Amino acid sequence: MNRTGQWAGRHEFARTYDELMLEKTGVRGVKSAARTVALLELLAERGEQPSRLDQLAEDLDVPRSSMYQLLQTLVDCGWVRTDATGSLYGIGIRALLTGTSYLDGDRCIRVVRPYLDEASDALGETIHMARLDGPDVVYLATRESHEYLRTISRVGRRVPAHAGGLGKALLAERRDDDLPLPDGPLTALTENTHTTRASLHADLAGVRERGYSVDREETVIGIAGFGFALRYTTPATDAISCSVPVARLTPEHESRILSVMRETRAKIESQMPPASGVPDWRQ
């Protein structure tokens, strides 16, 4: 995909922000705020790849002079960083501080973390927690296995919900006609990822029947996963999963994984009754 096409979604987000806010709240969005959010998300998604002023202006369809002023403001505030020449831009440290505040301030994440440790110790495998965010899931906590190399499961990683165990566990909590899926064909991360709604719906029917999802190398080649929705909200927005190299996945080990993860889910859900005075956050 070319660079302009790759970031068309960011341009579209900025362009439709006014309409979305008006529809949801009756209040028009602020154009400068939409541009700021789109820019920060674009820089965050590019990670270690720095961007030039002209490139950002083109990708977000913003006049060069306006983009320059916006970047300088964000650099001064610490949200964007620049190199010694002042010609390259990347996400700044303030984004980390804000993200950390989100993790530290979320009661569900605080409750779940110790149980991820328990499950990881019991199984020797990598355990995740993620939250549904539109058509994707976002990793909120991870306990890595010491037995094999990392599976690119860092906190903050975003994965299409249809493409893995965590997402499928959460999609199965919803009706097939109410799934938060993007328009058009579903994105394939591997040759095993569902790319049609018919095959995904068939898989989700199995998830509902079993009570957990199975990811057979659909997100990462060589890695299988088992996902369990956490039903302390309706419909569930959070899920936990166990990831394991397929080379280690014997029938006996799979049975052990399912037993431990079911027990872990039950423990977490028992600790999450409604708390007095806690806001009902809209994700």
Cis peptide before 279 (omega within 30 of 0): no
Low-confidence ranges of the chain (pLDDT < 50): 1-17, 21-22
Distance CA 172, CA 258 (A): 18
**The pTM of the whole model exceeds 0.85:** no
The predicted structure's pLDDT at residue 30: 66
Residue 96 neighbours by CB under 8 Å, 6+ apart? none
Per-residue pLDDT at 34: 84
Domains in the chain, ordered, with CATH?
3-91 (1.10.10.10), 105-270 (3.30.450.40)
Rounded Cα gap, residues 199 and 79, in angstroms = 42
pLDDT digit string, tens, across residues 208-250? 999 999 999 999 999 999 999 999 998 999 999 999 999 999 9
Residues 253 and 244: beta-carbon distance below 8 Å: yes
Residue 96: its pLDDT value, please? 80
pLDDT of 152 reads: 55
Burial 22-54 (b: 16+ CB within 10 A, else e): eeeeeeebeeeebbbebbbbbbeebeeebbebe
Quick check: 51 and 88 in contact, CB under 8 A? Answer: yes
| Per-residue pLDDT, 15 | 47
Please give the sequence-ordered ranges of beta strands (E in DSSP) within 64-209, or none if there are none.
80-82, 88-91, 126-133, 136-143, 158-160
pLDDT value, residue 28: 52
